[in-house]
Amino acid sequence: MAHVVQALDQPSNYKDSQSRVDRQKQNELLANSTTLYVGNLSFYTTEEQIYEVFSKCANPEDGGGIKRIIMGLDRNTRTPCGFCFVEYYTHAEALASMRYVSGTKLDERIIRCDLDLGYKEGRQFGRGKSGGQVRDEHRQDYDPGRGGWGAQAQKAEIERRRQVEERYLDAQEGPGAVAGGGGDWKEMEGATEGKLKRGRSPDDEGENSRLGQRTRTEEDLEAERM
Amino acid sequence: MSYNDRPYRGGRRRYHRDDYDDRRREETPQEKVKNAIIKLGEVDPVQELPAIEAHVRSLAPLNIPSLAEAFHVSVTEQPFKIPYYAALLRRLHDTPEDGNAEEPSLGKQILEEFWKGFQAYVDKLAWRETRSCIHFFAHLTSAKLVAPESLAILLQAFTAVLDEFGVSHGRAKRAALCAAEGLMIGGASLKAISSSSPSEIINALQIFIETTTNAKWIVQPALKLHSASVDVENADELLDSALTILKALDAIDFDAPCPRPYSEYPELDSAFFTPFTLPLVLVPPEVIELEGLSSEEEESDAQVRKEEWPEYFLRLFPDDVTPDPNTPAGYIVRTDLLAIIDIFEVNRKECARLLLEYPKWTLPGTFKPKPGAPPSEVEPVVPHEWQLESTILETVLGASLLLPESAYKQIYYIGLITEVCKLSPQTVGPAVGKSIRRLYSSLSDGLDVDISRRFMEWFSIHMSNFNFAWVWKEWVPDLSLAVQHPKRNFIRRSLELEIRLSYYDRIVKTLPEAMHSPDAHTVPAQAPGPNFEYDDPTHPYHDATQNILNLFRGRSKAEDVITHLDTLRNTLEIEASESGQSLSNVPNLIRRIAIQSLLHIGSRSFSHLLNAIERYLPLLRSVASGSTSTASGSPEAKVDILNAVASFWKYNPLMVNIVLDKFMQYQIVDPTDVVSWTFNHIAEVEESERDLRAPMSLSAVEWDLLRGALNKAIGRVSLSRRKLTALRKEDDESRARAKASGGNMDVDGETKEEPPVAENPALTTAIKAFSTLTREQKSVLSRTLEGFVACLAPSLTSTHPNPKVSEVLTENAWHNRANWGRDEWNAWETWGWYRQFCTAYSPYLRSYATTLTTISFARFEGQSDPASDLLQKIWNISIGQE
């Protein structure tokens, strides 16, 4: 119903400021995007909480589902820094999340979703000077869910912090650091063949090489809404 | 709808800041008028009408198509405003002071143009738009702009659909609503010219409804196993309600209580004016895709069409609080609200606003005024004074709890209620609380299991948006009910879902003391973490497991881990044979250790799990293959894998779902393996669990596993079908090109040999994949059906039947349910999931109906007992054979 109201699943002015793809190409990518950028997360929110909420928009009977979740991490400390990417198998699921989930609470914070061009290596890390997201560099308010914790913070949250701090200590950089989530169904060869084949779908690889992606991770740029 | 492919077309710009292209342009005078029409009634529709009329008339040059489009947008996207649009069009039929009464009026020109658009909606079977336009035409008839005879003929075109041979319920329902609602609104005019035409429509509707008894029986919102008749309290079927009020309206000559602002206007001068005659329409047949797959295939690759069923809307409040849809006024209110919920699905925030603003489109007195609002200047015309918020809640929940499934995803309705609450927390909050209590209390009276599941989902997500503030204390007395009583299931499962959305300590803090105790079986004793068997240093295989974990942590190659596991197996076999034990358990043990260790590595997060699976896929495949080297793997090994997953995540059903979903995705196990395993798994209830659950029974947790497997198999077929269709199209095109470039213009009309086109290998592969996946889908459905039959009508040789499974089927048993224990409630719930399986998956089950019937029901041939009869009745109705 585009006449009477604006649909909630339209792309916003969110963009990946480091993307080297031209505007027209970006629009094409967004029109088929299966990936969401999710912002304003608490640092404590786990991938399983994210999975639980975003699986409500999945269409498994249509070949969909949650392909993978990529937690945004502080570049230096490797701890969650308040954003993530949720990648589905189908575009319709990403749109459904825009309509139904964006603007509702996850872990008691109002989260914001935006259609994303698609995850590229390096984008899992914060781009702020001190490793986290840029918005947390300049933020003045006290936000217990985003690192603004101290005496007032609940004991329970300190315990949760301990757990999250450990969780991603093993996070890697470089190709293959982030799992693909499993590709389309394929005819199985003999099961005991010792082929070391990765589960990424061929489409993923094609897309990577086509876009010739490059990132400038040290630059203080931001993937967030301006 | 087409909102995707036309991102913006001159409507109203509500969200400037969200306009990503920042392109602002001046509106043309045409667009200004169009927007003024669409926005009619921002403040007071009746007072705005003259100004908008003047605005339209001031436009030069007149652009009739643009004005007709404005009416189309207005009528189809804001059906609750239709009476006012009828009034506007009536005003545009007046001859202006300086005009010539013999020329066709502006209104008439617009109406003629509008008709063409309606014809287009009918031709593409755009039912929602068609229905709104019929409302509009009925109001126009009432406003004397349309000839009543022609409205009667139009409505008959829709009742004719009900007589079609083999008409689907969905098509018949939509056509029936068009005819019925057109009659409700325009009935007075129809009856004035012919008293028989209303009764013909009513009869047609009645005859159709009589054919739907079985379908109604199977989707009624209460699950009463003993009752063969439709036995519904507190819910109303959509077409039943329509029929009831048509009869009531017929008795009072269709004096339907809807706003008719045009009735104030003087009659048009019949010397110059003849009412518009709606041309004849024919409702086109449904498009059936006949394109089949190669002839040896039993199944076609045509898209599966969702089956539609009668719609029972739950009532949560008494008639003086919310409208009774079996009264004309109540039916109109509910129809308008449902239309808003349907149309504004694309923007739940705007939808919430429109729902709360709805009273302004109703007759004064329909709803209670807002508390604290200034006293209304208009006198109430009707005496209802319903509560708006309760009405909204009842309608949204009613739409979300339809069986077997709602039109949109649950999360839409949940999000919509959240938005309504956010707009007016003080007034909506109490209505939410009352709705929850009402639904909760109906859990004791047989509220369907899938409705309960959705209720839990709504409850937990709603609470997660509102600080988890629920007064749990009031349900403490219910802890004395049987542990599997639906109310206790509700409490337990909702808390489990709340914990998933939040975290254990946060949720436990919201509970009264009485719910903490382990005997209360309400929340687990600790956060739902992993259960790694070999973690304990005293465990005999602790050290062996640590070595494997170290290989994983050191990112050893999968081959090296496989080699290590082989060595470990040899060691354990030697140990076993030295101590005189059997060697046969060693392979199972090795698999268990391998899978649990891998899950342990992946237990930190979903991404860790994916990384672990992906890095060690060869290992997983090797484990799944058992000692064989077949492509499908060893069934025994897969059972070990699934057991290891269930044991490792026994405290966390969400993780079991996630792991199994990814194991299926990576083809370590197949959907059929998961279904078979689920039914075997519930047969063996551990001794420690026996207090809590009966064997051979399904709860919402197992249903989630089955659903995951069924949907995975169905999803693969649907993906593969899309791929195949695309390849076919491509192939056809390349053949056509090859033919064209051959250059042999066939002047004589003789068919020449097609130029040989190379076999398309991609197409061949896709056809093969499609047929494999279709077989897998059939096998999953078949295995699920067998599983249910084995649970609900256990054979005499069954080793672990639920002891009470056959005792819940009689009327006496049902009335004695206050004394039901765990086993009875478990049996009842399993019946519920069976009904849900048959109805929700009916479109897929229908494709294999003959085979599945033979496989699962052959053993009941010639015998009759309540369980097998009920199994077959539910099955037959679901596949459309009863």
The DSSP secondary structure of B440-497, one letter per residue, reads HHHGGGTB-HHHHHHHHHHHHHHHHHTTT---GGGGGGGGGS-TTSHHHHHHHHHHHH
A68 reaches B (C-beta below 8 A): yes
CB contact under 8 A, A4 and B632: no
Position B817 pLDDT exceeds 70? yes
A24 to chain B, any CB pair closer than 8 A? The answer is no
Closest partner residue to B502 among A1, A107, A196, by Cβ? A107
Inform me whether the pLDDT recorded for A214 exceeds 70: no
Q: Which of residues 123-142 of A touch B (CB under 8 A)?
A: none
Q: Dihedral, CA atoms, A198, A199, A202, A208, nearest 10 degrees? A: -70
What percent of chain B shows pLDDT beyond 70?
93
B478/A contact by beta carbon, under 8 A: no
**Percent of chain A scoring above 90 in pLDDT:** 41
- Closest in A8, A71, A100 to B411, CB measured: A100
Is the pLDDT assigned to residue B130 strictly greater than 50? yes
Q: Is the pLDDT of residue B51 over 50?
A: yes
Mean pLDDT of A201-222: 37
A106-120, A204-218, B267-281, B855-869, range with the lowest pLDDT: A204-218
- pLDDT of residue B708 exceeding 70: yes
Distance, CA of A96 to CA of A102 (rounded, Å): 9
Residue A196 has pLDDT above 80, yes or no: no
pLDDT tens digits for B353-379? Answer: 999 999 999 999 999 998 777 777 778
Kindly indicate the confidence band of residue A202, based on its pLDDT and cuts at 50, 70 and 90. Answer: very low
HSE, side-chain direction, 13 A CA sphere, residue B145: 28
Distance from CA of A40 to the nearest CA of B (A): 15
A114 backbone dihedrals φ, ψ, rounded to 5°: -145, 145
More confident residue, A193 or B100: B100
User: Which positions in chain A touch B605 (Cβ < 8 Å)?
Assistant: 46-48, 71, 167-168
Burial class (CB in 10 A: 0-12, 13-18, 19+), B686: exposed
Cis before B404 (ω within 30):
yes
Residue B783 clears pLDDT 50, i.e. is over it: yes
Which pLDDT score is estimated for A152?
Answer: 46
Alpha-carbon gap: A190 to the closest alpha carbon of chain B (Å): 5
Residue with tokens 């308040």: A82
Question: Which range (A16-25, B371-380, B556-565, B654-663) has the least confidence?
Answer: B371-380
In this structure, which amino acid lies at residue A122?
G
Which residues sit opposite B386 in a β-bridge?
B367
Residue B789: pLDDT band (50, 70, 90) is very high
For B659, what's the count of Cα atoms within 13 Å in the CB-facing half-sphere? 30
pLDDT band at B756 (very low <50, low <70, confident <90, very high): low
Rounded CA gap, A83 and A71, in Å? Answer: 7
Helices B328-343 + B238-251 axis angle, to 10: 140
CA within 13 Å, CB half, A62: 12
Quickly tell me which residue has 């259609």 as its tokens.
Answer: A115
What pLDDT, on the 0 to 100 scale, is given for residue B20?
44
- List Cα–Cα distances, B882 to B237, B873, B878, in angstroms: 20, 8, 8
Taking a C-beta distance cutoff of 8 angstroms, is the pair B875, B853 a contact? yes
Q: What is the pLDDT of residue B290?
A: 46
- Cβ <8 Å between A178 and B607: yes
Interface test with B, best of A33, A59, A86, A100 (most B CBs within 10 A): A100
- pLDDT tens for B585-639 read 999 999 999 999 999 999 999 999 999 999 999 999 999 998 665 666 799 999 9
CB contact under 8 A, B11 and A48: no
The 10s digit of each residue's pLDDT in B460-475 is 999 999 999 999 999 9
Alpha helices for B502-605 (secondary structure H)? 504-508, 513-516, 542-553, 558-578, 586-601
- Between chain A and chain B, the number of residue pairs with CB atoms below 8 A apart is 224
pLDDT bucket at B291, cuts 50 / 70 / 90: very low
Mean pLDDT of A153-178: 78
Contact across the interface for A13 and B465, Cβ inside 8 Å: no
Banded model confidence at residue B293, pLDDT cuts 50, 70, 90: very low
Distance CA A113, CA A97 (A): 7
Task: Please identify among residues 455-474 of chain B the ones whose CB lies closer than 8 Å to any CB of chain A.
Answer: 457, 461, 464-465, 467
Digit-coded pLDDT (tens) for B497-532: 999 999 999 999 999 999 999 889 999 999 999 999
- Whether B761 has its CB under 8 Å from any CB of chain A: the answer is no
The pLDDT score that the predictor gives to residue B516 is 94
State the average pLDDT over residues B170-183: 97
Of B738 and B106, the structure prediction assigns the larger pLDDT to B106
Tell me the C-alpha distance between B656 and B678, whole Å: 12
Residue A203 clears pLDDT 50, i.e. is over it: no
Question: Does B349 contact A103 at a Cβ distance shorter than 8 Å?
Answer: yes
B653, with CB counted inside 10 A (0-12, 13-18, 19+), is: buried
* pTM score: 0.90
Q: Residue A153 — φ and ψ, nearest 5°? A: -65, 145
User: What is the residue-wise DSSP string for chain A?
Assistant: -TTTS--TTS--S---TT--S-HHHHHHHHHT--EEEEES--TT--HHHHHHHHGGG--GGGT--EEEEEEEE-TTT-SEEEEEEEEESSHHHHHHHHHHTTTSEETTEE-EEEEES---TTTTB--STTSS-HHHHH--S--GGGT--STTS-HHHHHHHHHHHHHTTT---STTSS-----S------TT---------HHHHHHHHHHT----TTS----S--
Tell me how far apart the alpha carbons of residues B336 and B78 are, in angstroms, rounded to a whole number: 9
User: Which of B625-629, B640-644, B747-751 bottoms out in mean pLDDT, i.e. has the lowest?
Assistant: B747-751
**Secondary structure E strands in B742-783:** none
Closest CA to B183 of B115, B246, B127, B129: B246
For B493, how many CA atoms within 13 A lie in the half-sphere containing its CB?
Answer: 23
B832-847 confidence digits (pLDDT tens): 999 999 999 999 999 9
Maximum average pLDDT range among A14-18, A22-26, A43-47: A43-47
| Separation between Cα atoms, residue B174 and residue B159, nearest integer Å | 10
Question: Exposed, middle or buried by CB within 10 Å (0-12, 13-18, 19+), for A14?
Answer: buried
Instruction: Tell me how far CA of residue B755 lies from CA of B251, B746, B875, in angstroms.
Output: 71, 13, 50
Mean pLDDT of B482-496: 97
Among B34, B349, B614, the strongest candidate for a mutation testing the A interface, having the largest count of A CBs within 10 A, is B614
pLDDT of B305 reads 76
**Residue-wise pLDDT tens digits, B66-99:** 999 999 999 999 999 999 999 999 999 998 887 7
B461 CB neighbours in chain A (<8 A) are: 53, 56
The pair of structure tokens assigned to B699 is 């709860």
∠ at Cα B308 (B307, B314), nearest 5°? 135
Q: What is the pLDDT of residues B844-866, one digit of tens each?
A: 999 999 999 999 999 898 888 89
User: Looking at CA atoms only, how far is residue B505 from chain A in angstroms?
Assistant: 7
Alpha carbon distance B702, B698 (integer Å): 6
Phi, psi of B47 (to 5 degrees): -70, -25
Question: Letter for the amino acid at B581?
Answer: Q
Q: Which of B266-275, B384-393, B840-849 has the lowest mean pLDDT?
A: B266-275
CB contact under 8 A, A179 and B629: no
| Interchain proximity B631–A188, CB inside 8 Å | yes
* Residue A11 near chain B (CB below 8 Å): yes
As a whole number of angstroms, the distance between CA B507 and CA B467 comes to 10
- Residue B30 to residue B61: CA distance in whole angstroms: 9
* Calpha distance B391→B397 (Å, rounded): 10
B577 Rama sector, left if φ>0, alpha if ψ -120 to 50, beta otherwise: alpha
Partners of A105 in the beta sheet? Answer: A110
Residues of A within 8 A of B712 (CB-CB) are 60
Run of H or E including B235? strand B235-237
* pLDDT of amino acid B753: 56
**Mutate which of B417, B607, B620 to test chain A, going by most A C-beta atoms within 10 A?**
B607
Length of chain B: 882
Is B632 close to A191, i.e. CB distance below 8 A?
Answer: yes
**A47, A59, A96: residue with CB nearest B605:** A47
Using CB atoms and an 8 Å cut-off, which of residues 503-522 of chain B contact chain A?
A: 503, 505-506
Which residues of A are less than 8 Å from B410 in CB distance?
56
The set of residues, in sequence order, having a beta carbon less than 8 Å from that of B748 and lying 6+ positions away, is none
- The answer to whether residue A224 scores a pLDDT higher than 80 is no
Q: Which residue has the tokens 């090296």?
A: B560
* Averaged confidence pLDDT in chain A: 79
The bridge status of strand A105-106 relative to strand A80-88 is: unpaired
Q: What residue has token string 């219910």?
A: B478
Distance between CA atoms of residues B766 and B723, nearest Å: 7
b (16+ CB within 10 A) / e for B839-850 = bbbbbbbbbbbe
pLDDT at B245: 96
Tell me which of B29-33, B295-299, B407-411 is least confident.
Answer: B295-299
Selecting from B415, B505, B624 the residue whose C-beta is nearest the C-beta of A104 gives: B415
State the nearest Cα–Cα gap between B508 and chain A, in angstroms: 12
Residue closest to B362 by CA, chosen among B383, B390, B345: B383
pLDDT attached to residue A189: 66
**Dihedral of alpha carbons B754, B755, B756, B762, sign:** negative
Task: Give the model's pLDDT for residue B295.
Answer: 34
Q: What is the pLDDT of residue B748?
A: 52
Q: What percent of chain B has pLDDT over 90?
A: 79
Q: Give the residue-averaged pLDDT of B221-241.
A: 92
Q: What mean pLDDT value characterizes chain B?
A: 91
Q: Kindly list the residues from chain B whose CB atom is less than 8 angstroms away from the CB atom of residue A195.
A: 618
Among B8, B500, B605, B777, pick the best mutation site for testing chain A contact (most A Cβ within 10 A). B605
- Taking CB atoms and an 8 Å cutoff, what residues of chain A touch B503? 49, 156, 160
Alpha-carbon Rg of chain B, whole angstroms? 32
Q: In angstroms, rounded to a whole number, what is the distance separating the alpha carbons of residues B743 and B444?
A: 76
Cβ-Cβ contacts under 8 Å for B255 (sequence gap 6 or more) = B188, B249
Would you call A203 an interface residue with chain B, using a CB distance cutoff of 8 Å?
A: no
- This model of the complex carries an ipTM of 0.93
- pLDDT at res. A209: 37
CB contact under 8 Å between A5 and B665, yes or no, is no
B551 to chain A nearest CA, in Å? 15
- CA-based nearest residue in chain A for residue B622: A192
Identify which of B9, B346, B617 has the shortest CB distance to residue A7: B346
Which two tokens mark B43? 């403040």
Residues of B in contact with A64 (CB under 8 A): 715
Nearest CA in chain A to B345: A99
Q: What is the mean pLDDT of residues B156-179?
A: 95
Find tokens 């309206």 and name the residue.
B249
Residue of B nearest to A166 (CA): B604
